[in-house]
Amino acid sequence: MLSTVGIPTLLGLCFNILVALALPVAVLIWLAVRRRALVWPFLSGALTFIVTQMLLRVPLLSWLGTTAWFTAFTMVQPVVYSLLLGLSAGVFEECGRYAAMRFTLRGKQSWQAAVAFGLGHGGIEAVMVVGLNNVALLAASIAAPGFYPLPAAGEVFMAGTERLFTLLAHVGWSVMVMRAVQRSKPGWLGLAVLLHGLVDGLIGILQMAGLGIYGIEAYVALCGLGMLAYTIVTIRREALHENENNAPAETG
Amino acid sequence: MKMKTMRLLKRVSALLCLLLCAAVLAGCTALPEGVDAGVIEEKAKQAVDLVNARDFEGLIASMREDAQEVADPEAWAAAVNPTLDEAGAFVEYTGTSVAGQEQEGEKFVAAVVTAKYENANLVFSLAFDADSQLTGFWVRPG
């Protein structure tokens, strides 16, 4: 029955579903049970992804793809196109994050909210880009093995792994944008846009340079870990700052 | 220190934006010397007309010699016919655009033709060399 779809490939699909569907749902349930105040920031992050990407950026890019001038531009300027594509993700998602944090998280702007926001944002992206697709692929692979051609098992695992590191990056960008909101310093928003744009834009350029899937995923992992380091450093500093500010109020 | 960092960030951001704009403006539409955009547009539409007539042998015959050698009319028909079947009858051309670029030392021209069909819009992308000879052809729903 499973002769045309190997067990490692099926395990890869299960891993992707675990990471890109079960994990975001589990985080949401955990927040609902243990940290109810962070449920709204999580949902706000998810909603921001749906609005800025699914309702705004993707339709805009789809429309541009139907125009002759833009298609010609993508053919003659693939590197600039890749950078613009990345930068557009940065502009839409980070500005959306900024607006959502400013207007939907009034009175709840904290680093904890930023982390929950990032988990919601990256979580829904994982669900929509990988999770649901992999559920369908797993069902199809079991019902009709070999009907849908799948890549090698190692490459299947990469989809879920990439989502994990992307989630870390989204948490980092959320913490960065929260800094812009809390301190009224748009420079942090600019930095988030720029970093998001560069991280996304360089993926296309590295592909053009001939880097294979494992090289690309290593690059994504590096970016995710970089953003994790930024998140940890910022949170430790913010927690220290909060403790200093809260101490007199609590004792007084 | 923080103010300095913010100022530096602003300057770096502005510089990157300027560089990006310069890159877009610099290489976007420069056609190779001697290439006429009007001629390319006309040739591109002629190629699309051949596709609409499902004359893939004619289309391949209009290409540069080395491109003809690797093109198989039957494979092209198998790849393109389902798209044409779904799109239905050709209605009209809706847009054309021509842009030039140099890649690995060879100058080429990209031409894009958009067209309306009964049930869909199609985007045709064509590549020409510096002598205005067709070297590549792609079609996708738009």
The answer to whether residues A69 and B37 touch, using CB atoms and an 8 Å cutoff, is no
Is A22's pLDDT higher than 60?
A: yes
Q: What is the mean pLDDT of chain A?
A: 92
Helix or strand run (H / E) with residue A229: helix A213-251
Residues of B in contact with A194 (CB under 8 A): 12-13, 16
Q: Which two tokens stand for residue A195?
A: 């970093």
Q: Is the Cβ of A77 closer than 8 Å to some Cβ of chain B?
A: yes
Partner-chain residue, chosen from B23, B24, B114, that has the shortest CB–CB distance to A68: B114
Q: Is the Cβ of A37 closer than 8 Å to some Cβ of chain B?
A: no
Residue B35 CA to residue B38 CA, distance in Å, equals 9
Burial (CB count <10 Å: 0-12, 13-18, 19+), residue B51: buried
Is A43's pLDDT higher than 90?
A: yes
Is A251's pLDDT higher than 50?
A: no
Residues of A in contact with B20 (CB under 8 A): 80, 83-84, 87
**For A15-152, where are the E strands, in sequence order?**
none
Residues of A in contact with B96 (CB under 8 A): 68
pLDDT at residue A239, rounded to an integer:
80
Note the pLDDT tens digit of each residue in A169-218.
999 999 999 999 999 998 999 999 999 999 999 999 999 999 999 999 99
Q: Which two tokens stand for residue B48?
A: 């699309």
Rg (C-alpha) for chain B, rounded Å, is: 20
Average pLDDT over residues B42-68: 94
pLDDT at residue A1, rounded to an integer:
43
pLDDT at residue A199, rounded to an integer:
96
Determine the number of helices (DSSP H) and then strands (DSSP E) in chain B. Answer: 5, 4
pLDDT at residue A119, rounded to an integer:
98
**How sure is the predictor about B79, in pLDDT bands with cuts at 50, 70 and 90?**
very high
**How sure is the predictor about B1, in pLDDT bands with cuts at 50, 70 and 90?**
very low
Closest CA to A87 of A190, A219, A231: A190
Average pLDDT over residues A153-182: 96
Tally of CB atoms within 10 A around A23: 20
Interface with B, mutate which of A62, A75, A91, A183 (most B CBs under 10 A): A75
ipTM of this predicted structure: 0.74
**How sure is the predictor about A147, in pLDDT bands with cuts at 50, 70 and 90?**
confident
Residue A78 CA to residue B25 CA, distance in Å, equals 14
Q: What is the mean pLDDT of chain B?
A: 86
pLDDT at residue B27, rounded to an integer:
53
B25 or A84, which is more confident: A84
Sheet with B106-117: strands ordered across = B90-103, B106-117, B121-129, B134-141
For A191, nearest residue in chain B (alpha carbons) = B9
Average pLDDT over residues B61-67: 92
A146 or B46, which is more confident: B46
B53 DSSP 8-state letter = T
Residue A212 CA to residue A215 CA, distance in Å, equals 5
Note the pLDDT tens digit of each residue in A68-109.
999 999 988 899 999 999 999 999 999 999 999 999 999 889
Burial (CB count <10 Å: 0-12, 13-18, 19+), residue A79: middle
Is A248's pLDDT higher than 70?
A: no
**How sure is the predictor about B16, in pLDDT bands with cuts at 50, 70 and 90?**
low
B63 DSSP 8-state letter = B
Is A249's pLDDT higher than 90?
A: no
